[in-house]
């Protein structure tokens, strides 16, 4: 616990209560807590100040002056200073951890999971934070966002420190960067995977989206930057770094002689000084990029090259990321929900396909509509058989979403708004030598239709359908 004046240096009031916790949610207030009132796009925390006080808040920090019955601190830039405030409360846990921040449109969850596995294999107590939750030594829970709110991030890092975790890989989303959620974190390594169309409903255009991603580097200044050499951003960012490693074609950490095998992908890992063979359990060429990024991080952290090769070979596939549900027919579940992500997943699936390549996918409702025809175009160019379905239509008509996707497809498709039925139909139609990619949800276990959140698990549905073939 900490006194209000020690937590908020600008506070000069007479009362100096002890602060037992921080929260942005008035419903989570317990006696002695500091309520942080931030205005947002959907709600304004100032509207809930009185409710927080009635629930026992001992003080309030907010963006504009208020007459209150408890001590009040005013910070007009609270959204961006909240990370530092929470850091002070939790004694800056990121300073005691080797924290790797991963940003980019695609690959964040996979890379964080691979890094967590790799550090564990190296004998370190490790964890990952992001879309899949906070997990490692144990499951610490799920925030609901790729990057949690600033208070939750610091609380999670403090819990990891208490559990003697030393290495953490954290997804840092464009939303989180734009909103200052990671502002006071100390990153050992920052990774930029790629940039393609997504979240334009929030950022407005690609330039602002790119600037949000770049803030991890030019704003938060990790010790070492790991950049995808195949992106334009690498050429812009690398000269600004104190230390940088580029991976992929044209980089100093790259792959040669890539071979798709039934059990995964094999390649030669090459650096300026060394080369060695990696036989990975992961499927798809795009996972080679994820493995290269993982290798670049480990090398930047001082791991020996031979140890890196051995470690990469032992990394397991990530749940919901090119997850193999069955081998014959080959059925894969993947989170790909952007045009580039879908294209990469389809190319990866094609490398392991000996018949026709099927894809089942949709697009989210109440989100960037411009990516829908681009996803249709990717499927049209890279798949043999296309099944359109729903993927969290929210308030939109699923049929109209499918219309937007189908506008870019120049051949017949099968349409089925009920995702379970779409998956079952595709599995019944495929031949044993065919491959099916079920794209869009990956690890997710829900479908959002209107205001209803219903249980749905692509992997679970696929397994049931496959069992039905044998019945």
Instruction: Determine phi and psi for 167, rounding to 5 degrees.
Output: -125, 125
Return d(Cα 67, Cα 447) in angstroms, integer: 44
CA dihedral 34, 35, 36, 41 (to 10 degrees): 170
Instruction: Determine phi and psi for 232, rounding to 5 degrees.
Output: -60, -30
Alpha carbon separation from 375 to 194, 297, 348, 446, 457 (Å, rounded): 17, 31, 16, 21, 22
Name the DSSP class of 17. P
Outline where 354-418 has alpha helix (H).
371-382, 398-406
Annotated binding site for ATP: 104-110
Nearest residue to 102 (alpha-carbon basis) of 177, 24, 7, 23: 177
DSSP string spanning 44-60? BGGGGHHHHHHTT-SEE
Alpha carbon separation from 205 to 30, 195, 208, 215, 373 (Å, rounded): 41, 12, 6, 16, 17
Return d(Cα 187, Cα 443) in angstroms, integer: 27
Annotated binding site: 24, 26, 104-110, 145-147, 173, 179, 181, 367, 391-394, 440, 444
Burial of 22 from C-beta contacts in 10 A (0-12 / 13-18 / 19+): buried
What are the tokens at 336?
Answer: 């790909």
């Amino acid at each position: 616990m900490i006194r209000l004046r020690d937590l908020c240096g600008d506070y000069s009031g007479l009362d100096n209560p002890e602060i037992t916790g921080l929260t942005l949610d008035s419903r989570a207030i317990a006696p002695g807590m500091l309520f942080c009132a931030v205005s947002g796009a959907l709600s304004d925390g100032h509207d809930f100040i009185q409710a927080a006080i009635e629930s026992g808040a001992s003080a309030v920090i907010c963006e504009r002056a208020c007459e209150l019955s408890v001590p009040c601190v005013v910070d007009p830039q609270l959204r961006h200073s909240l990370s530092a405030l929470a850091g002070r409360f939790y004694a800056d846990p990121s300073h005691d951890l080797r924290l790797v921040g991963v940003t980019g449109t695609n690959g964040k969850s996979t890379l964080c999971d691979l890094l967590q596995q790799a550090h564990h294999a190296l004998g370190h107590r490790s964890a990952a934070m992001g879309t899949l939750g906070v997990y490692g030594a144990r499951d610490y829970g799920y925030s609901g966002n790729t990057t949690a709110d600033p208070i939750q991030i610091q609380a999670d890092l403090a819990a990891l420190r208490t559990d003697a975790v030393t290495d953490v890989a954290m997804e840092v989303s464009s939303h989180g960067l734009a909103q200052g959620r990671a502002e006071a974190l100390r990153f050992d390594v920052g990774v930029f995977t790629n940039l393609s169309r997504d979240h334009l409903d929030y950022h407005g255009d690609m330039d602002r989206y790119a600037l949000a991603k770049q803030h991890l580097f030019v704003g938060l200044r990790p010790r070492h930057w790991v950049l995808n050499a195949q992106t334009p951003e690498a050429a812009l960012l690398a000269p600004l770094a104190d230390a940088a490693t580029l991976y992929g074609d044209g980089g100093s950490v790259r792959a040669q002689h890539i071979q798709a095998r039934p059990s995964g992908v094999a390649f030669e890992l090459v650096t300026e000084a060394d080369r060695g063979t990696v036989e990975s359990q992961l499927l798809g060429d795009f996972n080679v990029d994820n493995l290269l990024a993982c290798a670049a991080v480990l090398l930047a952290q001082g791991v020996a090259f031979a140890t890196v090769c051995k470690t990469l070979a032992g990394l397991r596939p990530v749940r919901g990321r090119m997850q193999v549900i069955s081998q014959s027919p080959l059925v894969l579940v993947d989170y790909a929900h952007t045009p580039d992500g879908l294209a990469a997943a389809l190319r990866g699936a094609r490398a392991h396909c000996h018949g026709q390549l099927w894809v089942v996918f949709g697009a989210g409702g109440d989100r960037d509509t411009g990516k829908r025809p681009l996803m249709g175009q990717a499927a049209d160019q890279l798949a043999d058989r296309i099944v359109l379905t729903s993927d969290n239509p929210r308030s939109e008509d699923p049929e109209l979403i499918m219309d937007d996707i189908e506008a870019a497809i120049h051949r017949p498709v099968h349409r089925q708004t009920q995702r379970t039925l779409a998956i079952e139909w595709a599995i019944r139609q495929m031949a044993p030598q065919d491959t099916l990619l079920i794209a869009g949800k990956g690890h997710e276990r829900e479908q959002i239709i209107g205001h209803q959140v219903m249980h749905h698990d692509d992997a679970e549905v696929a397994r049931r359908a496959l069992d039905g073939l044998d019945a």
